Structure 1
């Protein structure tokens, strides 16, 4: 695996780590330079709008976390060395366990991301959040139920 692919993969994994530790501000900051597509909005969101949605929708427990584990898998990374950009498709599975919910998958889908390298540093430039393929019991994860794609 190339050094560029490692940096890009680490951004995917850092996102999951931030979300699972309840660091929503830090997770949103990863998308500071990105356009974000969600199903319920025609226009792209920026990282501050995404953070507001997360803060309104994601339930954080007294421990400060959403009691989730985002598993990012199967990243398919296409790097364009000339333009210092990359396109990545990956899968995710979100597991959750709470005091009333046994450990179980609650959501699974795909991320479609784009990255750019600026001054030697890789960063997100685009994320499409509209590929939610399977939905489980989200009652312990979301403060308001409804279509989880309506971010």
Structure 2
């Protein structure tokens, strides 16, 4: 596997690992040079905007959202000449809380674009495409 493909795959996985760990600042940092596009089409540009979105995630006593993101079918295409890459992956989010038994709460696809700046890969855009939704009541706080 080409080193650039390895680096891009690492970003795809880092998003899930940081989110499950409750490292919302770390998740936001992945978008320092990029944007997050919500299922509703809202575009959040830059780390600060992405970080504000994660204020709606419910964190439990251990500081995490008590989730586990499982990735599958990760496909990466790198254009080394242009310094760009794309990735598509399927995800399933499981959650278990003190009052919610272990269950899948969301499944869908990530459509990602990446850019290489000074030898380092960054998210340029992540678009989330949910396909199936379960009980999200203990995952995201209602906005009001």
Normalised by the size of structure 1, how large is the TM-score?
A: 0.88
Decide which of 137, 140, 143 is 2:141's aligned counterpart.
143
Deviation at 1:6, TM superposition (A): 1.0
Q: Which residue of 2 aligns with 1:69?
A: 68
The structure with the greater share of residues assigned to strand is 2
Normalised by the size of structure 2, how large is the TM-score?
A: 0.92
Across the two proteins, how many residue pairs are aligned to each other? 142
**Distance in 1, Cα, partners of 2:39 & 2:12:** 21
Give 5+ residue unaligned stretches, structure 1: 146-151
Deviation at 1:106, TM superposition (A): 0.5
Name the SS for the 2:10 alignment partner. helix
2:92–2:107 contact (8 Å) kept in structure 1: yes
Give 5+ residue unaligned stretches, structure 2: none
**Distance in 1, Cα, partners of 2:95 & 2:85:** 31
Runs of 4+ that moved beyond 3 A: 39-42
Deviation at 1:38, TM superposition (A): 2.0
**Distance in 2, Cα, partners of 1:9 & 1:2:** 11
Q: Deviations over 1:85-137 (max 9, x none)?
A: 101111111011111111111001111101111111111111112x1100011
**Distance in 2, Cα, partners of 1:65 & 1:113:** 24
Superposition pairs of residues 10-21 of structure 1, within 5 angstroms: 10-21=10-21
